[in-house]
Chains A and B, each alone.
Chain A
């Protein structure tokens, strides 16, 4: 009996600890409960598997970019061997984030090949035209078929000039694709140099003074500054241009004045002015600051949840959980009377222990997670049902109350452990192989199963033993259903 009293104090201590934990470390809610955006990023590698180092390198670059995006509490983590999950709480439009993250952002400085001026001039003209068309498309009324067909005709003309045809279903996609092709062709007129994004120490942006466009400022490290001076020196005074190439597309070409013929452009900084809008300039700045990605990535999943929907989900889940507990409690008390009461109390303990573990580990609570929790209530009760059925059998067989309780717990043991193990196996597999979404379910169900081993075998027993210390509560009738033959 003394030992049991010790358990009672221990359980009450655990309960107090749980409540303390829950007050001081509130539960972390998933995006489906508080609103926000979640992006799944897939590393793309043509041959072989993505190595751990590559995943980490991509993670590091993206981490810098995400930090520079300025979304509060954003969270980036790896998933499996070749995926990353980015959570942006509160973000309702992940478009900008997806643009910033999705680009490889490989910055190169190239010098123009000899005698390519006329080709370059033509391509630059075509690029100017296509930029104009894209702008027209953006401001045009999409219902006006006439204005769209004018843009279409103009595009066909450009494509004809450059001998290229783009085959998307969508006009806008065709425009963007053709522009990409032109920028690519321009970049091909230039020779690569050894100066690249790796030589940057910083990037910034500012508004041009003459118009509303933005430009991006680059600062090189010492070595980069020297390379840049060298390159510009070789171009100064010639008709060859310097091109700044991002991901294989030339975004800006500039001439170097003859005044730099002796030293090149020194000072270790450069400016890219390529008709940037404020947003584009910021995105490029963030990308350059983070460095280029060692492997390209693709955004394979986007999930956006409004904050109102999130709070609705919380309320709905809360209703479901509370009603579930309530009805299960009524069912148990109706069928098992005092024993049912014991199981209700141990269920309450169970709930608190679970939630406390979530805040301790920590487990981010999501909708599937809540489903796992609610489902594990059933599992926890199952253990109680097994035990109580055994106790009743023993009572009917004429054993005393105390002995029935003891042997009930003892004999139900193996069945309970079996059941819990089969569920744990499923949870374990789900947790290892499942997606983020599924992991939440596996985690809460798994934790629930473990906690239920403790509460059903220990808490229920302790509470029951405590109750049976009172003479009044030791009447056999209180443990048996009325309909049962006594």
Chain B
């Protein structure tokens, strides 16, 4: 038992400090992304939300694919096409030992997209059309998806908050929700930074991951608060000590749950399809932060300072 215990009363300020740093970093990321990047948004919105065209296709090579530079390809492309908007905004990457071509471009019609593939085939071909993945999203749908995701997030946060406030009294509900928003904010900020540094874009699956994280985080906090309440009913002589004991009693459970959820997520990151990669990363991060906030942060809110006790 001693192995898994942490002195909350002593380290309360350290926990608050740590969380404040994380929140501050996230806030800086979000602000930086809003004001100092080309996309001028708190987070780098992907084509799900702004529309565009995404194409991935493999090359057929005999032994190894010869090395090509993306700039060269785009230069060659300008000989086949005179669509300036496309040529100026196309992003082309060549991955997996030069065998996988992945392209992001502004919105194209199906015809234009087919033309693009045909031109790429002329430059880098032959291509394996069996491995093609092409997505085209119109700008109108993008806007709709964005409002859709925002509404989903809001509605379920409200629903979860309602549930928590019915289930607990005001104080507990408030702190549980505070911990929840702390988690979501940090994950959001992390992805803002990813957008700034690695041009990682968020799509609708990111919104889904935020929602799922919300469910998990609240759930973890609820379990610990339940335990605190249960123990406080039995012995009310030493309030802070009781919280400490309750947390220590639930640490194993929360850690184990996080681990058993992280394991499948890690296998998804390692083995899963690329389209689930950042989704799994965001979920994993959310679960890590979520278990930290339920074990350490949320109960620390409940711990009373000597001064407040005097008052």
Nearest A residue to B167 via CB reads A418
> Distance in Å from the Cβ of A377 to the closest Cβ of chain B?
5
Across the interface, which residues of B come within 8 angstroms of A93, CB to CB? 114
Evaluate contact between A368 and B276: CB separation under 8 angstroms: yes
A302 to B223, CA, bound (A): 44
Evaluate contact between B156 and A298: CB separation under 8 angstroms: no
> Distance in Å from the Cβ of A329 to the closest Cβ of chain B?
10
Evaluate contact between A425 and B160: CB separation under 8 angstroms: yes
Of A299, A306, A316, A429, which one neighbours B152 at CB under 8 angstroms?
A429
Evaluate contact between B152 and A430: CB separation under 8 angstroms: yes
Across the interface, which residues of B come within 8 angstroms of A422, CB to CB? 160, 163, 214-215, 218-219, 222
Interface bits B202-238 vs A (CB < 8 Å: 1, else 0): 0011011001101110110011001000000000000
Nearest A residue to B113 via CB reads A302
> Distance in Å from the Cβ of B104 to the closest Cβ of chain A?
15
A225 to B291, CA, bound (A): 75
Across the interface, which residues of B come within 8 angstroms of A307, CB to CB? 130
Knowing A367-B273, A378-B260, A435-B145 touch, does A302 contact B253 (C-beta < 8 A)? no
Asked if B296 CB lies within 8 Å of chain A CBs, one says no
Asked if A142 CB lies within 8 Å of chain B CBs, one says yes
Interface bits B79-112 vs A (CB < 8 Å: 1, else 0): 1111111000000000000000000000000110
Of B131, B160, B207, which one neighbours A306 at CB under 8 angstroms?
B131
Evaluate contact between B208 and A148: CB separation under 8 angstroms: no
Nearest A residue to B156 via CB reads A429
Asked if A434 CB lies within 8 Å of chain B CBs, one says yes
Of B132, B140, B218, B261, which one neighbours A375 at CB under 8 angstroms?
B261
A444 to B156, CA, bound (A): 18
Evaluate contact between B138 and A298: CB separation under 8 angstroms: yes
Evaluate contact between B141 and A301: CB separation under 8 angstroms: yes
Asked if A426 CB lies within 8 Å of chain B CBs, one says yes
Asked if A157 CB lies within 8 Å of chain B CBs, one says no
> Distance in Å from the Cβ of A379 to the closest Cβ of chain B?
8
Across the interface, which residues of A come within 8 angstroms of B145, CB to CB? 435
Of B167, B205, B259, which one neighbours A331 at CB under 8 angstroms?
B259
Evaluate contact between B140 and A300: CB separation under 8 angstroms: yes
Nearest B residue to A172 via CB reads B111
Evaluate contact between A327 and B267: CB separation under 8 angstroms: yes
Knowing A371-B279, A382-B260 touch, does A95 contact B268 (C-beta < 8 A)? no
Evaluate contact between A331 and B260: CB separation under 8 angstroms: yes
> Distance in Å from the Cβ of B254 to the closest Cβ of chain A?
9
Of A170, A319, A378, which one neighbours B83 at CB under 8 angstroms?
A170
Asked if A421 CB lies within 8 Å of chain B CBs, one says yes
Evaluate contact between A375 and B223: CB separation under 8 angstroms: no
A142 to B249, CA, bound (A): 72
Across the interface, which residues of B come within 8 angstroms of A98, CB to CB? 110
Nearest B residue to A380 via CB reads B260
> Distance in Å from the Cβ of B128 to the closest Cβ of chain A?
7
Evaluate contact between B130 and A95: CB separation under 8 angstroms: no
Evaluate contact between B263 and A299: CB separation under 8 angstroms: no
Across the interface, which residues of A come within 8 angstroms of B61, CB to CB? none
Knowing A316-B272, A324-B263 touch, does A415 contact B223 (C-beta < 8 A)? yes
Evaluate contact between B276 and A371: CB separation under 8 angstroms: yes
Evaluate contact between B205 and A445: CB separation under 8 angstroms: no
Of B83, B152, B268, which one neighbours A320 at CB under 8 angstroms?
B268
Asked if A115 CB lies within 8 Å of chain B CBs, one says no
> Distance in Å from the Cβ of A140 to the closest Cβ of chain B?
12
Interface bits B128-139 vs A (CB < 8 Å: 1, else 0): 111111111110
A368 to B163, CA, bound (A): 27
Evaluate contact between B114 and A378: CB separation under 8 angstroms: no
A:411-460 near B, CB below 8 Å: 414-415, 418-419, 421-423, 425-426, 429-430, 433-435, 437-438, 441-442, 445
> Distance in Å from the Cβ of B202 to the closest Cβ of chain A?
14
A386 to B275, CA, bound (A): 32
Evaluate contact between A328 and B260: CB separation under 8 angstroms: yes
Interface bits B244-283 vs A (CB < 8 Å: 1, else 0): 0000010011001101111111011011110110011001
25 contacts between A and B (CB under 8 A): A143-B80, A148-B82, A170-B83, A300-B140, A301-B141, A303-B136, A307-B130, A308-B131, A309-B56, A309-B131, A317-B273, A332-B260, A371-B280, A378-B262, A378-B265, A419-B223, A422-B218, A425-B159, A426-B212, A429-B155, A430-B156, A433-B155, A434-B152, A434-B208, A485-B1
Chain A contact residues, CB within 8 Å of chain B: 32, 35, 40, 42, 92-95, 98, 142-143, 148, 169-171, 298-309, 312-313, 316-317, 319-321, 323-325, 327-328, 331-332, 335, 367-368, 371, 374-375, 377-379, 381-382, 385-386, 389, 393, 414-415, 418-419, 421-423, 425-426, 429-430, 433-435, 437-438, 441-442, 445, 483, 485
Closest 9 CB pairs of A and B: A378-B261, A324-B264, A308-B130, A300-B141, A419-B219, A429-B156, A300-B138, A319-B271, A381-B260
Known: A385-B257, A429-B159. 10 other contacts (CB 8 A): A42-B138, A92-B129, A94-B110, A170-B83, A304-B132, A323-B270, A331-B259, A382-B257, A389-B253, A423-B219
